[in-house]
Amino acid sequence: MASAPLLSKATILVVDDDPDVLLALALLLRPLAGHVLTEKNPERLPALLRQERPDLVLLDMNYQSAANTGNEGFYWLAQLKKLAPSLVVVLMTAYGDIDLAVRALKDGAADFVVKPWRNDKLVATLAEALGRASGAAPMQALPANQANAALIGESEAMQAVRYKLEKIAPTDANVLIMGENGTGKDVVARLLHQLSPRAAGPFVAVDLGAITDSLFESELFGHLKGAFTDARQDRAGRFEAAQGGTLFLDEIGNLPLPQQVKLLAVLQNRQVVRLGSNTPVPIDVRVLSATNAPLYQLAAEDRFRKDLVYRLNTIEITLPPLRERGGDVLLLARHFTAQYAAKYHKPDLELADSALARLRVHAFPGNVRELQHTIERAVIMAEGSVLHDSDLLFSALEAAAPTAFVPTLRLDELEKTAIQRVIDKHQGNISQAARELGITRMALYRRLGKHNL
């Protein structure tokens, strides 16, 4: 594991009341950092700051000792920033406390990591935090860190996606990316290209759902002048255009059977023949494909060729819907708020607690794309510096669409779906939702916790 220059010279203080955590982090960081100190008792922080002058403090948010502040992490963060305003503080938190960690960023924390952490993610986070504090130019990111930046989220599902992406990207294997509309399949495809040995080559994307049957061969394989009525000059197809790089075939599930046969032949032979020509052209491309269609079901029904599936999915990545990603919704919402506030020249725009609460319970049938558009609209229409729940207008198109939930007869899933729909109907108003569901507010809160809503 490579260490950034700033990290290799830094003094890092790790504060956690769990001896096993301190030992694990000391073993991880000592070969990478200039000096590593560990401390169980946060009460000793003021003295340690005076004696050791650390460059970065990795601070746990919760301790076994009682605290009269409600949360020790906030208290000790405030104390550290008071004693040393320029000190870099990175918080450690359990997955369930991500909302607290996000709030702590406003109070001066540089970043946070989630327990149980992944070593490469933790090291990259610390190095980046030090780099931002020093004003240094962004360092050359590790492939894993690039994936982290593009695939925002700390849920287990997204950590699994990033882990698989990091393993797959350096290879030349064909990849099939599956997931509902709006989950970010195109983002993953571009990341696979950017983190691969082919990154210097072209990335060519083709929406197969937008290509007519009559133009399929010309678009993908190319043609010679005069091959058909409108062929006024020679033209290379998408396979040749992607030579030495990556070809991304989006909406592969929409491909008719006759075109599937032609695509399969190209993938097997690694060569194309332009329309109007008899000369094969060797191709050197990595093929990525994506679909929201149930490809295996289509194959079982003989509507999609099984041999083509095998060619496309040497490796498979399935992206989770946003409703199954827990606290990632709030991380993404803050990211999009900052992004569009900068774009539309509305600095310091933030989300009110009421807006966060409403985002937390919305089902997002349109996934990340729906969230992105919702935040962009809210930012454009914002009058002040705070976005409230009333500023969030969810897409009528998604609301009118058939539900994106997988049909189920499981009682817990039916209950979760009912709760989500009623809360959406009442725009996050817990009292009204509880009244319609015929339960008390406290009972509804318990069910929200049970279903991670």
How far apart (Å, rounded) are the C-alpha atoms in residues 275 and 218? 6
| CATH value of 323-450 in 1.10.8.60, 3.40.50.1100, 1.20.1440.130, 3.90.10.10 | 1.10.8.60
Q: pLDDT band at 407, cuts 50/70/90?
A: very low
> Angle at which helices 156-168 and 185-194 pack, to 10 degrees?
40
Asked if residues 372 and 359 have their Cβ atoms less than 8 Å apart, the reply is: no
Handedness of CA 243, 241, 294, 418 (dihedral sign): positive
Q: What is the pLDDT of residue 96?
A: 47
How far apart (Å, rounded) are the C-alpha atoms in residues 285 and 273? 15
Asked if residues 177 and 166 have their Cβ atoms less than 8 Å apart, the reply is: no
pLDDT surpasses 60 at 138: no
Q: What is the pLDDT of residue 372?
A: 92
Q: What is the pLDDT of residue 415?
A: 77
pLDDT surpasses 80 at 72: no
Question: What is 5-140's CATH number?
Answer: 3.40.50.2300
User: H-helix or E-strand containing 203?
Assistant: strand 203-207
pLDDT surpasses 50 at 141: no
Question: Terminus-to-terminus CA distance in the chain, angstroms?
Answer: 37
Residues 6+ apart with CB under 8 A from 82: none
Q: What is the pLDDT of residue 99?
A: 57
Asked if residues 317 and 177 have their Cβ atoms less than 8 Å apart, the reply is: yes
For range 196-217, the mean pLDDT: 87
Q: Please give the single-letter amino acid code of residue 253.
A: G
For 9-28, how does the pLDDT look when each residue is reduced to its tens digit (9 = 90+)? 889 999 998 888 898 898 88
Q: pLDDT band at 281, cuts 50/70/90?
A: very high
Q: What percent of the chain has pLDDT over 70?
A: 84
How far apart (Å, rounded) are the C-alpha atoms in residues 436 and 416? 15
Beta-carbon-side half-sphere exposure of residue 9 (alpha carbons within 13 Å) = 6
Boundaries of CATH 3.40.50.2300 in the chain? 5-140
How far, in whole angstroms, is CA 376 from its chain's centroid? 18
pTM of the model: 0.58
Boundaries of CATH 1.10.8.60 in the chain? 323-450
Asked if residues 451 and 412 have their Cβ atoms less than 8 Å apart, the reply is: yes
Judged by DSSP in three states, 271 sits in strand
Boundaries of CATH 3.40.50.300 in the chain? 158-318
How far apart (Å, rounded) are the C-alpha atoms in residues 123 and 337? 27
How far apart (Å, rounded) are the C-alpha atoms in residues 59 and 16? 7
How far apart (Å, rounded) are the C-alpha atoms in residues 68 and 295? 55
Q: pLDDT band at 268, cuts 50/70/90?
A: very high
Asked if residues 104 and 73 have their Cβ atoms less than 8 Å apart, the reply is: yes
Q: What is the pLDDT of residue 101?
A: 57
* Of 211 and 145, the one with more pLDDT: 211
Q: What is the pLDDT of residue 219?
A: 87
Q: What is the pLDDT of residue 37?
A: 93
For range 325-329, the mean pLDDT: 87
Residues 6+ apart with CB under 8 A from 242: 201, 202, 203, 204, 283, 285
Question: What is 158-318's CATH number?
Answer: 3.40.50.300
Q: Could you check whether the bond before residue 116 is cis, i.e. omega within 30 degrees of 0?
A: yes
